[in-house]
Structure formats: structure tokens, C-alpha cells
Structure 1
Amino acid sequence: MKFVLAPDSFKESMSASVAVEAMRRGIHAVRPDAECVGVPMADGGEGTVDAVVDALDGQRITVELQDPLGRPTEATFGYVAHRKLAVIEIAAAAGLELVAPNERDVLRASSSGVGQLIANALDRGATEFLIGLGGSATNDAGVGMLVALGAKFLDASGRPVAPGGAGLKDLDRIVLDGLDPRLCDVHIRVACDVNAPLLGPTGASAVFGPQKGATAADVELLDAALSRLVSVTEATLGHARHDTPGAGAAGGLGFAFFEFLGAESKPGVEVVAETVGLERAVRGADWVFTGEGGVDAQTMLGKTPFGVAQLASRQGAHVVIFGGRVAPDATVLLDHGVDRLVAITPDGTPIDEALRRGPQALEQAAAEFVRELIGTAT
């Protein structure tokens, strides 16, 4: 009997790799001869670097760079040398959590740290990139990233515009002669589950700006500044597809990746699944075990267990979703390729205890399910 173990992390309790090993121990406690294939998963957000590095035997690289306010800090990305693959979560270099609430300044926050991570990966020989968008403190449409990679964004006097989204109101021309030439030979895939365009009432500034400390006046200024960027980009490149779904993701970083770096975008779980070879692993599987900390009806909106279930069911495998918490409305998943939902902790368990005992509880839940499965088969 073949089991594929493809969970996401159980937030604050265990990483995806720890969850894989807990599932494996539970299965082997009941069926020592079972084939267990571990494929740690993620959806492009937090935990993506860990999942891909662990699945593909890569390494974690820590780099000194600048945070969104230009202060020195460190960030980590993943690198899989045999694939020349770099895995970057932009939140590691430009994330909201890097700036204390009382220090947030969305008008001048820069995405330069993301460019510094990319440059370091290029130095190591990367030719393939998986970029997880989301959780940024910035609203500069990726201009800081592009500047760190050698581009110039100049005002009418030929001086660099000020860092941050607000500085783009003075943009007059873009010079790309110095953009790192190695970028011409790379393939960039962006894991993006946000469909927001760059501009307007559903764009980066209006929807996400207030979460980063923008006032109503700031939102108006930022949207006008990004409109200026779009105009100059159009004059420079001959295109500026600001309405592309996802262009507004991560403070407009999606726009920079799509327009200037030729990136392709897919839902996060699909990009991660392709990268770690989940479809190949699932072939011939009898059961696929997946899961995450909380499972509910929202799991259908691009989260890892649902993406795994869809792929597995297409391959004819049965699917079990394990959750630290399984909400009543999660039963809708049973109509979409999921065979069983299993809560690993009893209702009423104190949250601290549930988080602490997560791996043990998941191991026990997996063992109980396999024991039931064997009993049913006999």
C-alpha cells in the first residue's frame, strides 16, 4: 500500500517536514511495510522556502540586506544547487513583520531587499526562481527591487527618485541599461493567490495600503504615483499591463515581476506542487495524506490541502485531510475530492497544549486512521 504524505505546516506547531515524519511514524506503527513518500508542501506563503528546501534537499542561505526602511538586517532564502533553483519569500526581505507598527511608513518603504536576495541567488548560479508574493510592508511596485538589480528610475533632473511608492510621483524616465544581464537567462515563477490589479479601488494602494499604515490621503497619493509609473513604463517598454491579475500583489511587486522580469504567475499551491514533483509522487498512490493547522470552507480558496486533494483525486488516489482544528463547514470539501476529514485534537483542548502536542497528535491520528482502514479492508 502506497501513501503520499503532502501536508502544509501546522502554523506555530510544526513545519511541513515535521508533519510528514509524524504521519510516517503513525502509518508505520500500524503497517511497517507500507510505502510512504514524503512531499512537504506549501501554498507560496510562509513556509514555502522550508517546504521546497526539505523536499528537494536544498539549503537555506542567510544574506545581509536592507529592510523596507533601509536598515541593515538579515533574510533567508532557499537554494537547490542541483536544480539551480532559488526559492524566495518576499516577506523575508520586505515583510510587514520587519517593521514595528509605530515605525511603518508605506510612503517610503522600499522592496530593495528583495532585489538583494535575487542578486545573491544569481551570484550562486540560480537560473530558476520560485517567488512567493505576499505580506509586504511596501507599496513601491517593485521599483526598489529593480533598482537593487541595476535599473534606474530618474526624475526630470536625472536624479534617482526617492525610495518608496511616494517617490514615484516624480518619475520621469526609466533606464534599464544597467539591469543585471543574467536576468535575461532566468525563468521566474511567481506564486500568487491575489488577483488585485495595480491601480484603482481594488488595487495595491487602496486594498492593501491601509493595512500598512496608509491614510486615505496616502492612498490617493500612492495610487497617483503608481499611475505615473505605469505611464513611464509604457513609454519605456511599450507595455504596462497594470490590470493583470496579481499586478497589485505585495505592494505592486507583481507588476515589476510581470512587466520587467517576464515572470509567469500561478496559484501558489500549483507552483509549489510543480516544483517539488507532487504529481509524479502521487502516481500509483492508494492514499494521500495532507493537512494544515486549521481546516474550514475557506480551505477551498487556494490553500494547500485543497490543491493537493484536487491533484490527488485526478490521479485516482483517496485523500485524507488532517487538521489541528476542523470546522463544521469543512464538510464541503467532501464534495471536492476529499474522502475524510480528521481533527487531530479533541474539541476543547487548550490551544497551547494543542500546539505543543501537534506532532504527537498527528502521529496518533494517522495511526488510528490506518488501523481503521485495515480493519475495514479485512
Structure 2
Amino acid sequence: MKLVLAPDKFKNSLTALQFCDAVEAGIKEIHPGADIVKLPLADGGDGTIEVLKFYLKAKFIQAEVHNPFFEKILATYLYSEVSKTAFIEMAEASGLKLLHTEQFDCKNTTTLGTGDLIVDALNRGAKSIILGLGGSATNDCGIGMASALGYRFLDERGNEVIPIGSSLSQIKTIDVSKVHPSLTGVNFQIACDVDNPLYGKNGAVYTYANQKGATAVDMVLLEQGVVDFSKVLEQIFKIDVQAIKGAGAAGGMGIASKVFLNGALLSGIQLVKDLADFDAKIIDADWIITGEGKLDFQTLSGKTIGGVLHSAKAINIKVAALCGAVDLDEIELKDFGIQYSDAVLRHAGNLNNAMKHAFEYVQLMAKNFAKNKL
């Protein structure tokens, strides 16, 4: 009996690898001889770095960078000397996780630190860089990141602006004469799990800025800045920014990755599945057991479980979902292609207990699954 374990993390509670360990322990209580294949996944957001370390022959590199408020911190990324490949997660240098909630203020934050990490990788000789978008504290359209790489954003007097969201309307031109010389020789793949346009009601500001500390007044300022800056981008790079799916990801880092890095915006889960050789490794599996913090209608929109279901349906493998919470009924689950589900909250009673003892509850759910379905 072959069982593939292919979860995402349970945010702030359980890593994807811990989920795999918990499910393995629960199943082996009932079926000690089961063939367990661990394929932890991620969709490009925060937490992806730990998953990719599982697959890549890479080590963590530590570099001094700027945090969202320009303060010096140490941040890490993955680098494989063998393949000259770096994986950089922007949340490590430019993420909300670096700040206290009361500090959230995306009109005044920068992606400069993400650029610092890219520069460090370039200086090490990287030829391929995977950049994971997600978890950002910023709405600067990537001008901080680009500034670290030598792009200069100038106002009407030819002075450089501070690379933060509230400066976007001041930018009148972009000087590309001092861009890092190694940039053009690198292949950038951008792991992005959303398809929001740069601006508008579904854009970077009105979809995400409130979660990053923007007030209603801030959002008007930021949206105008994004619109004004998009005109500059269209003029200089001859690109229709609103036609780029995912341009609004991570406070506009989607469009920045396209124009400043010449990166390809890719589904985060598909990119991780490819690196894991997922579709080949699940062949002949009896079940795939997946999971994430919350299973709801957003699950199929570029998230991990959606990617698992896509692969499983192609070769008729049954899927079980063990999640923190499940907000779908049995009919909806069946329509998704999920044959079995359980949720930590069905056992834990309250959220605090669920998060504190997630490992034990996932192990219990796996044991129950093994009793009832294997």
C-alpha cells in the first residue's frame, strides 16, 4: 500500500514536514508496513523555503539586509553551489513576519531587503533565481528591490526618491545605467499564487493593503501612486501592466519581477511540484493525503491542495484532506475531488488548543483515516 503525503503548512502551527511526520506516525500505528512517500509542498508564499530545502541540494546562506523599515537585519536564503540556483523568499527580508502588528504601515515600507538578497546571490555566481512572493509588508511596486540592483527612481528634479509606497507618485523617470552587471545573465522564476492585476478593485492596494496596516486614506494615496507609477513603467518598458496576471502580487512585486528582473511569473505550487518531481513520484499511489490550515473555496485558486487535486485527478488517485478547518460540505468536497476529510477543529474544541497541539491532532486524524479507509 503506497501513500503519498503532500501537505502545505498549517500557518503558525505546523510545518509541511511536521505534518508528514504526524500522519506517518498515525498511519503506522494501524498499518506498520505501509509505504509512505513524503512530498511536502508549498505554493510560493512564506514557508516555501523550508520545503525547497527538502528537495534541493542547497544550504542556507545568511546575509545582512534591510528590513521593511530600512533597519539592518540578517536574513537567509537557499543556495545550491552545484546548480548555481538560489531560492529567495521575499518574506525573509520584506515580510510582515518581521514586524509587530502595530508596526504594519505599508505606505512607508520597502522591498530593499529582498533586493539585497538578490544581490548577494548574484555576487555568489547564481545563474538561476527562484523568487517566492507572499507575506510581504510592502506596497512599493518593488522599487526598493530594484534600487538594491542599481535602478534609480527619479522625481521631476532628477533626485532619487525614497523607495517606499508613498513615493510612487513622485517618480517621473527611471535611470537604468547602473543596473547590476550580472542581472541579465540570470534566469528568474517568480513563484506567485495570485493573479491580481496591479491596480483597481482587485489590485495590489484594495485587495491586500488593509492587511498590511493601510488606512482608508492610505489606500487612496497608495492606489494613486500605483496608477501614476504604472504610466511610467508603460512609457519606459513598453508594457501594458494591467494585462500582466499577478502584477499586483505582494504589493506590486509581481510587476517589478517582470520589468526589473525579466522574470517569468509562475504558479507557486506548480513550480514546487516540478522541483519535487511530484507527478512522477505519485504514480501507483493508493491515496494522496494532503492538508493545509483552512480548506475552503479559495483552495483551488493556486493553492497547494488545488495543485495536488489537479495531479491526482489526472491519474485517478484518491485524495484525503486533513486540515485545520474545513469550510466545505460533503457535496462540495466531492465536487473538488476529495474522497475523505477531517479537521483539527472537529477534535480540538477551540482554536488555541488546535494550534498548540496540531501535531497530536493530525496524528489522531491520520490514525482514524487508516482505521476507516485503508
CA distance in 1, matches of 2:266, 2:192: 6
Match of 1:262 in 2: 262
Contact 1:144 1:164 in 2 (8 A): yes
Contact 2:348 2:354 in 1 (8 A): no
Match of 2:14 in 1: 14
Match of 1:2 in 2: 2
CA distance in 2, matches of 1:124, 1:331: 52
CA distance in 2, matches of 1:371, 1:105: 49
Alpha carbons of structure 1 residues 331 and 84: separation in structure 2 relative to 1, 3 Å = farther
CA distance in 2, matches of 1:136, 1:57: 27
What secondary structure sits across from 2:135 in the alignment?
coil
CA distance in 2, matches of 1:193, 1:64: 28
CA distance in 1, matches of 2:350, 2:206: 38
| Matched residue type, 1:292 | E
Contact 1:296 1:329 in 2 (8 A): no
Kindly provide the CA deviation profile for residues 281-319 of structure 1, in whole angstroms up to 9, marking residues without a partner as x.
112222211112333344333332232122122122221
Contact 1:196 1:203 in 2 (8 A): yes
CA distance in 2, matches of 1:165, 1:144: 9
Alpha carbons of structure 1 residues 361 and 83: separation in structure 2 relative to 1, 3 Å = farther
What secondary structure sits across from 1:181 in the alignment?
coil
Alignment of 1:276-295 (within 5 A): 276-295=276-295
Match of 1:230 in 2: 230
Contact 2:55 2:275 in 1 (8 A): no
Alpha carbons of structure 1 residues 321 and 98: separation in structure 2 relative to 1, 3 Å = same
CA distance in 2, matches of 1:39, 1:300: 19
Contact 2:8 2:16 in 1 (8 A): yes
Contact 1:89 1:131 in 2 (8 A): yes
Report the CA distance between 1:344 and its aligned residue: 5.0
Report the CA distance between 1:336 and its aligned residue: 2.5
Match of 1:197 in 2: 197
Report the CA distance between 1:142 and its aligned residue: 0.4
Contact 1:23 1:363 in 2 (8 A): yes
Q: Which consecutive residues of structure 1, in runs of 5 or more, have no partner in the other structure?
A: none
Contact 2:169 2:224 in 1 (8 A): yes
Contact 1:310 1:337 in 2 (8 A): no
Report the CA distance between 1:64 and its aligned residue: 1.8
Alignment of 1:131-142 (within 5 A): 131-142=131-142
Alignment of 1:172-211 (within 5 A): 172-211=172-211
What secondary structure sits across from 1:320 in the alignment?
strand
Report the CA distance between 1:158 and its aligned residue: 2.8
Report the CA distance between 1:107 and its aligned residue: 3.1
Kindly provide the CA deviation profile for residues 147-196 of structure 1, in whole angstroms up to 9, marking residues without a partner as x.
10111112333321222123232323212232223222222222223322
Match of 2:160 in 1: 160
CA distance in 2, matches of 1:6, 1:81: 27
Give the TM-score normalised by the residue count of structure 2. Answer: 0.89
Q: Which consecutive residues of structure 2, in runs of 5 or more, have no partner in the other structure?
A: none
Alignment of 1:351-362 (within 5 A): 351-362=351-362
Contact 2:295 2:328 in 1 (8 A): no
Report the CA distance between 1:35 and its aligned residue: 2.4
CA distance in 1, matches of 2:363, 2:200: 48
Report the CA distance between 1:40 and its aligned residue: 0.9
Match of 1:151 in 2: 151
Alpha carbons of structure 1 residues 10 and 205: separation in structure 2 relative to 1, 3 Å = closer
Kindly provide the CA deviation profile for residues 184-226 of structure 1, in whole angstroms up to 9, marking residues without a partner as x.
2222222223322223343223433343343444333333333
| Matched residue type, 1:139 | N
Match of 1:219 in 2: 219
Q: CA RMSD in A?
A: 2.5
CA distance in 2, matches of 1:99, 1:348: 29
| Matched residue type, 2:27 | I
CA distance in 2, matches of 1:175, 1:7: 44
| Matched residue type, 1:336 | F
CA distance in 2, matches of 1:197, 1:238: 17
Match of 1:249 in 2: 249
Give the TM-score normalised by the residue count of structure 1. Answer: 0.88
Report the CA distance between 1:89 and its aligned residue: 2.4
| Matched residue type, 1:318 | K
Alpha carbons of structure 1 residues 84 and 204: separation in structure 2 relative to 1, 3 Å = same
Alignment of 1:59-78 (within 5 A): 59-78=59-78
Q: Determine what percentage of the aligned residue pairs are the same residue.
A: 37
Q: Alignment length, in residue pairs? A: 374
What secondary structure sits across from 2:75 in the alignment?
strand
| Matched residue type, 2:340 | R
CA distance in 2, matches of 1:197, 1:13: 31
| Matched residue type, 1:191 | A
